[in-house]
Amino acid sequence: MIRILAINPGSTSTKFAVYNEAECIFKKTIRHPLEQLLRYKNIIDQFAFRKGVIIDALVEEGIEVDSIKYIIGRGGLTYPLESGVYKVNNLMLDHLREGVMGQHASNLAPMLADYIALQIPNARAFIADPVVTDELDNIARYSGHPRFTRRSIFHALNQKATARLHAQKVNKKYEELKLIIAHLGGGISVGAHINGRVIDVNNALDGEGSFSPERSGTLPVGQVIELCFSGKFSEEQLKRMVVGEGGFVAYLGTNDALNVEKRAKSGDQLAFDIQEALFYQVAKMIGEMAVVLEGKVDGILLTGGLAFNPELEKYIRQKASFISEIFIYPGEDELEALAMNALRVARGEVEAKEYLPIISDIL
């Protein structure tokens, strides 16, 4: 029996699950109050605390830790990588501690996986399809000015897992399909998938594409520059306008998409308009990716929490069904996606890669 531990640290929670091959036998989400996290100066300082809550929960559940041989964490902000499963190595850990691409709670996942694996005889640690997965065609990297390069930062784990699920459903290989996949959650990313690669996708973290429940997406650059030099806002305040306090939060005071959906249905005109504007921007992004794929699209896949909204599905079908058939895969299960990637390695279906980025090519 192949036993797997999947770990996904978030900004205010730690999620983890144990699988016996494809069967989940234990899953837990531990929420961390803000005052608890404020004790730590930065993300990396939370390592011992997060490690403790995982191990304590496994022991309390009566799970024999030594029986776990595959530990897989959500990939953090390392240097860009192609899609796949990667062994956790010292270089990766060094880059995460340095924060070479930024600091995020996901940086803790490989560190936690590595630590736990080292305590168990013959256990191995991995990551899969990190947010910095980069398979962009070279032409997609140009921004319009040589000082700026488009970056691939998106929901690679869920997009890739959804693509493989869909391929299985239609009895084809993911690598044979041309797909447009829209991950619709707290952040929004829309990718053009061809032959198993995401050749174009918006930077879903800090300033491209549709706005989302808490991110501003693409903003008018001229107005942003004026605001930067207005003297009214600090750099930190401006960054929060883009990530965390944009989108629904800025317009409606909430990042709860279900709350916005209810308000729109109850006659709140502003909530209706803002929700429809999000739908409109997502539909435009799908159109852009259809051009990238030259109109030859085998399917448009909608996934993430917002895909539960029937009004979004109705709107996207109305706007984009002329491009291709639309399939709905609502929600996301990143722990399951991680575990299935580890299982593919355990079964010999894929080979885990080494983290050896060529820094000169990146910089």
The confidence score (pLDDT) of residue 358 equals: 67
The confidence score (pLDDT) of residue 336 equals: 96
Task: Compute the 3-state secondary structure of the chain and give helix, strand, coil in percent, each to the nearest 5.
Answer: 45, 20, 35
Strands 13-20 and 23-31: antiparallel
**Residue 208 structure tokens:** 């491209």
The confidence score (pLDDT) of residue 253 equals: 95
**What parts of the chain have a pLDDT lower than 50?**
360
Q: What DSSP string runs through 292-312? A: HTTT--SEEEEEEGGGG-HHH
Residue 194 to residue 291: CA distance in whole angstroms: 13
Q: How far is CA 175 from CA 83, 87, 171, 324, in A?
A: 12, 23, 12, 18
User: What is the identity of the amino acid at 334?
Assistant: E
Q: How far is CA 171 from CA 194, 243, 348, in A?
A: 17, 39, 21
User: What is the identity of the amino acid at 348?
Assistant: G
| Residue (of 281, 279, 285, 278) closest to 300 by Cα position | 285
Residue 233 to residue 91: CA distance in whole angstroms: 38
The confidence score (pLDDT) of residue 22 equals: 95
126, 342 in Cβ contact below 8 A?
Answer: yes
Residue 286 to residue 301: CA distance in whole angstroms: 10
Residue 346 to residue 70: CA distance in whole angstroms: 8
103: left (phi over 0), alpha (psi -120 to 50) or beta: beta
The confidence score (pLDDT) of residue 36 equals: 81
For each of the domains in the chain, give its residue range(s) and CATH number, in order of start: 3-131+335-362 (3.30.420.40), 156-331 (3.30.420.40)
**Residue 207 structure tokens:** 């300033």
Q: Where are the alpha helices (DSSP H) in the chain?
A: 34-37, 47-61, 90-98, 108-118, 156-169, 221-228, 235-242, 247-252, 257-265, 269-292, 310-320, 334-346, 359-362
30: part of which helix (H) or strand (E)? strand 23-31
The model carries a pTM of 0.89
